[in-house]
Structure 1
Amino acid sequence: MWAPDGGAPNGFRPAEREKDPERWWSLVNADDVVVTQLDDGAEDGPGVPTSSASMPSLVASMLQHLDVRDGCTVLDIGTGTGWTAGLLCARLGSQAVTTVEVDRDVYLQAAKSLAAAGLLPVHQHHGDALLGWPFGAPYDRIHSTAAVQRVPRVWVEQTKPGGVIVTPWGTPYANAALLRLDVGERGQAAHGRFVENVSFMWMRAQRPPEMTGPQAAPTSHGASGIDPDLALERVHAAFAIGLRAPLVRYVHTWDEADPAGTYRMQLSDGHGSCASVRYHDWGGDGAVQQAGNRRLWDEITIARLRWQEEGGPELTRYGVTIAADGAQSVWLDEPRNVIRRHVS
């Protein structure tokens, strides 16, 4: 596994059971995330976690929302270390659990762990779980340990009427929610609410586009209409902003010579539109710079003000509907109050 280390070039250092068993067990037994892969397994990468064992208390909470019952069959998406699949096997029996992992090396290691724990013959497969696993469908429950921006239509199709899908869900701006989706009868929409604040690694095929720099000189300059701190003040505000500012990502940058005076939020939609806003003297001329077809900071500002006008709703007041054709809509309080639509 990989332990955080601010002194390492990529921010992590390996922790191996054979070489440092005390350190290894302290990481395993903590109620925290254990990073098990960086950079999709590539060597000399920047140090981006790409596979992990999730925080135990969060796994317990997710399984509680999944609400498995005797006789249930479950599709577990994102095998990872195999731990969640193992818990489901212990509860339901190995024959009732199907688990799918996209990364071959991760898949092979999980197979060894599940075998060592005596949990075979769990139905374990290597493949793209965005396609589900049709050969064992339909399932009573689908459980994902990777975040999506859009719930795949096939997940709904592979769930029995009356079944449940639990998955992390987010936007590039705020990967922040856990969705519990109730599946209706065939040909009917599935509806669900966000049940708590979580943050998971993205499903690989739905990772947001990389941040891009401005492709042209800024075409808009001016003062900010809000304090930039308000754009990330609370997870609920950030979540609502992400719903109304599709594809937008952010990073923070500064000049080491003057961190306080140069601290900025940089925004990009991955398609040529960029913006930045200065935190210091945000109401001054030139605090905001924007370029491209979209005015990204204007969108963020409007979305934050709209959230405030709505009373500052927490993310658990939002929900998702998946139509029979796969179109996804996000709503506030009830399905007819649509905030955002996405056609699959």
Structure 2
Amino acid sequence: MDQYAQLLADLAEVGALGEEWRGAFERAPRSAFVPDEVWVEDDEAPNGYRSVSRHADPARWWEEVNSRRQIVTQVDDGRADGPGIATSSSSMPSLVAAMLRHLAVADGNTVLDIGTGTGWTSALLCARLGDQAVTTIEVDPAVAATAGERLAAIGAKPTRVVGDGLLGHPAGAPYDRIHSTAAVQQVPPVWIEQTRPGGIIVTPWGTPYANAGLLRLEAGEPGQGALGRFVGDVSFMWMRAQRPHAVKALGRPSPEYQGPSRIDPDLAEENVHAAFAIGLRVPGVRTLHTWDEADPAGTHRFHLADDAGSCASVRFQDWAGPDAVHQSGPRRLWDEVTSAHLAWLADDRPELTRFGLTITAEGDQQVWLDAPGNVLP
């Protein structure tokens, strides 16, 4: 049994790949959609990644293709001089299978696949539902062109669109299902408008603080919005238009406030559930770890910033010291994070799957815990 066949067998054995999808995964193998050049992390490379070519290093290329890991297929939107941010990928096979399972397609359903990427998910949907049932949209023309070639090579012919997935594709609406392979902070109202009542939307969803939730929504009747729960812990690349701002280290020599921390800063990222819950209560806040390599223990700091001029940092060592916390700007960001963590503790440390989301017809988002009536402040 080859490595891919073994992977499918293993996924089926643990219940991650049902029989309704097994044939599609066999007819549309991952290897058919991985580009000839992929990117692997490399601390010695200027931007943190080095390329692996199928032609120059076939053994390493196949190692990546047959792995159970995410494969980075583009860095910095294809620019050669970027900072080293992964911007397109082939997702973990187990995660692809999980998302398709949550999509709960049935024969005859139509699907809008947002974020064509390599084309693999589009091919799986075509293999399961038929070409005529699948519309796939990709914002990057070069990525879309490569995916089109690979789809054609295995005979898959979905409707392909180059455009902004946040706008959906009204020409093919309404859809029974919408499937997004890029994370959003705000679910676009047009996705709901383009989904049939009772239809399902599956998308990664997160906050700048914690890009961590897989959201499954059910569309209501026209004018009723959508409602759903977070069904898993995932981290996907952001929709380009919704990428969080970059964070820089707090550089002001004299912060407006300094003092001790009320909590150990490790607790701000205690686990994915804590980080997700904190992120819900500290809107617009992103984080960064910094330290001096010559003294990593003594200089390790946790930085926070929003996009409106507030910033903060806290020292990990001696975090209760009189100058451990520095804060500046209209918001006291570390105080907010501390209060959010205490609120998570008061709620009995809920896992992220206890949270849900209501989206009104106007596009307002309300996050709730356990039941739609228990809306977070």
Q: Give TM class, smaller chain.
A: over 0.9
Q: What is the percent sequence identity of the aligned residues?
A: 65
Instruction: Give the aligned partner of residue 206 of structure 1.
Output: 242
Deviation at 1:136, TM superposition (A): 0.1
In the alignment, does 2:110 pair up with 1:81?
Answer: no
Q: 1:214 and 1:283 mapped to 2: Cα distance?
A: 19
Q: 1:151 and 1:215 mapped to 2: Cα distance?
A: 34
Instruction: Give the aligned partner of residue 337 of structure 1.
Output: 374
In the alignment, does 2:77 pair up with 1:29?
Answer: no
Find the residue that maps to 1:260 and give its secondary structure.
Answer: helix
Deviation at 1:215, TM superposition (A): 7.8
Pick aligned residue for 1:11 from 48, 58, 65: 48
Q: 2:245 and 2:139 mapped to 1: Cα distance?
A: 19
In the alignment, does 2:293 pair up with 1:256?
Answer: yes
Find the residue that maps to 1:91 and give its secondary structure.
Answer: helix
In the alignment, does 2:206 pair up with 1:170?
Answer: yes
Deviation at 1:325, TM superposition (A): 1.4
Q: 2:195 and 2:251 mapped to 1: Cα distance?
A: 44
Deviation at 1:308, TM superposition (A): 0.1
Contact 1:212–1:272 (Cα < 8 Å) also in 2: no
Give 5+ residue unaligned stretches, structure 1.
none
Q: 2:242 and 2:46 mapped to 1: Cα distance?
A: 28
Structure 2: which amino acid aligns with 1:186?
A: P
Give 5+ residue unaligned stretches, structure 2.
1-37
Distance 1:213 1:21, change over 3 A: closer
Structure 1: which amino acid aligns with 2:178?
A: I
Find the residue that maps to 2:336 and give its secondary structure.
Answer: helix
Instruction: Give the aligned partner of residue 322 of structure 2.
Output: 285
Deviation at 1:19, TM superposition (A): 1.7
Pick aligned residue for 1:190 from 226, 245, 249: 226
Instruction: Give the aligned partner of residue 132 of structure 1.
Output: 168
Structure 1: which amino acid aligns with 2:256?
A: T
Contact 1:214–1:273 (Cα < 8 Å) also in 2: no
Pick aligned residue for 1:40 from 74, 77, 88: 77
Instruction: Give the aligned partner of residue 311 of structure 1.
Output: 348
Paired residue total: 339
Instruction: Give the aligned partner of residue 280 of structure 2.
Output: 243
Q: Which deviates further from its counterpart, 204-213 or 61-70?
A: 204-213
Deviation at 1:271, TM superposition (A): 1.4
Instruction: Give the aligned partner of residue 153 of structure 1.
Output: 189
Deviations 1:110-140 (A, max 9, x none): 11111111102x1001000000000000000
Deviation at 1:204, TM superposition (A): 0.5
Q: Which deviates further from its counterpart, 60-69 or 182-191?
A: 182-191
Q: 1:95 and 1:293 mapped to 2: Cα distance?
A: 53
Find the residue that maps to 1:252 and give its secondary structure.
Answer: strand
Q: 2:259 and 2:102 mapped to 1: Cα distance?
A: 46
Find the residue that maps to 2:223 and give its secondary structure.
Answer: coil
Find the residue that maps to 2:127 and give its secondary structure.
Answer: helix
Q: 1:277 and 1:145 mapped to 2: Cα distance?
A: 34
CA RMSD of aligned residues (A): 1.1
Q: Which deviates further from its counterpart, 208-217 or 55-64?
A: 208-217
Structure 1: which amino acid aligns with 2:225?
A: A
Deviation at 1:272, TM superposition (A): 0.6
Contact 1:215–1:272 (Cα < 8 Å) also in 2: no
In the alignment, does 2:161 pair up with 1:144?
Answer: no
Instruction: Give the aligned partner of residue 25 of structure 2.
Output: none
Deviations 1:321-343 (A, max 9, x none): 01111111111011111115xxx
Distance 1:251 1:262, change over 3 A: same
Return the TM-score normalized by structure 1. 0.97
Pick aligned residue for 1:60 from 82, 89, 97: 97
Distance 1:203 1:68, change over 3 A: same
Instruction: Give the aligned partner of residue 220 of structure 1.
Output: 257
Q: 1:6 and 1:189 mapped to 2: Cα distance?
A: 45
Instruction: Give the aligned partner of residue 360 of structure 2.
Output: 323
Contact 2:248–2:288 (Cα < 8 Å) also in 1: no
Contact 2:249–2:290 (Cα < 8 Å) also in 1: no
Find the residue that maps to 1:172 and give its secondary structure.
Answer: coil
Q: 2:160 and 2:268 mapped to 1: Cα distance?
A: 42
Structure 1: which amino acid aligns with 2:229?
A: R
Q: 2:250 and 2:269 mapped to 1: Cα distance?
A: 23
Q: Which deviates further from its counterpart, 59-68 or 12-21?
A: 12-21
Structure 2: which amino acid aligns with 1:182?
A: E
Contact 1:184–1:190 (Cα < 8 Å) also in 2: yes
Q: 1:256 and 1:59 mapped to 2: Cα distance?
A: 38
Q: Deviating runs (4+, > 3 A) in structure 1?
A: 212-217
Structure 2: which amino acid aligns with 1:48?
A: I
Deviations 1:65-100 (A, max 9, x none): 001100000000000000000000000001100000
Instruction: Give the aligned partner of residue 305 of structure 2.
Output: 268
Q: 1:336 and 1:192 mapped to 2: Cα distance?
A: 13
Structure 2: which amino acid aligns with 1:6?
A: D
Q: Which deviates further from its counterpart, 231-240 or 16-25?
A: 16-25
Instruction: Give the aligned partner of residue 230 of structure 1.
Output: 267
Q: 2:343 and 2:41 mapped to 1: Cα distance?
A: 38
